[in-house]
Amino acid sequence: MEALQQPGIRALLVGATGLVGGHCLGELLYDKDFSAVTVFVRRPLEWAPPKLAAHVVDFDHLHNYAGAIHADVALCCLGTTHRAAGSPEAFAKVDHIYVAELARLAVARGVSRFILVSAVGADPTSPVFYNRVKGRAEVAVSEMPFKAVHILRPSLLLGQRWEPRPAEDWGKQFAPFWSWFLWGPFSRYRPVEAEIVAARMVELAKSDLEGVHIHYFNR
């Protein structure tokens, strides 16, 4: 993979307060290839380095913040859980509707590359609601006229979250055990550290690869 030769990449990061997003923000800020980092967040950040422009936004009215999008690449780490969202409809709004609206606004503002954290098993026709919502978000982004779309499909994410997720915490306890049985085509279902996913996002943000690409984390 060849890196872009153009210096000073401008990045838009959405979901910077999440598990993957937090790691991604740190990488973007310390990477000299990025000259400016804009973030859309639900709550203020505790730090404000010079090349960071943070905007606290109402995602139900995301179009009101379109003017703040000045970027070459958008990195989307938006995501919630059924428990946190409170209902299937609220979950779908965050993981599908908000993602699709962000992609639409990014295209309109001249963003050429979009990188989305999705999930292994994502499929718009899946009988599993979670996978179906993730799949629909992927379709919405892929249909936008970006120069490049990169969809990352990690399995269970490892790392310390701010909010409790009982189901994930239970799964993490057995992650080392599962890994022994997940080989070949099933290796993509192995748990993966959030910082590895974030590093991959930043790497792809500097890539000149065109088209729609899906990335798994086989280990």
Active site residues: 130, 134
* Contact predicate 74/106, CB 8 Å: yes
User: In the structure encoding, which two tokens stand for residue 26, read together?
Assistant: 């740190």
What SS3 class is residue 2? Answer: coil
Per-residue burial over 184-195, b = 16 or more CB atoms within 10 Å of its CB, e = otherwise: eeeebbbbbbbb
What SS3 class is residue 80? Answer: coil
In three-state form (DSSP H/G/I as H, E/B as E, the rest C), the secondary structure along 128-166 is: CHHHHHHHHHHHHHHCCCCCEEEEEECCCEECCCCCCCH
Exposed/middle/buried for residue 21 (C-beta within 10 Å: 0-12, 13-18, 19+): buried
Distance of CA 192 to the CA centre of its chain: 14
Q: What's the rounded Cα separation, in Å, for the pair 193 and 173?
A: 14
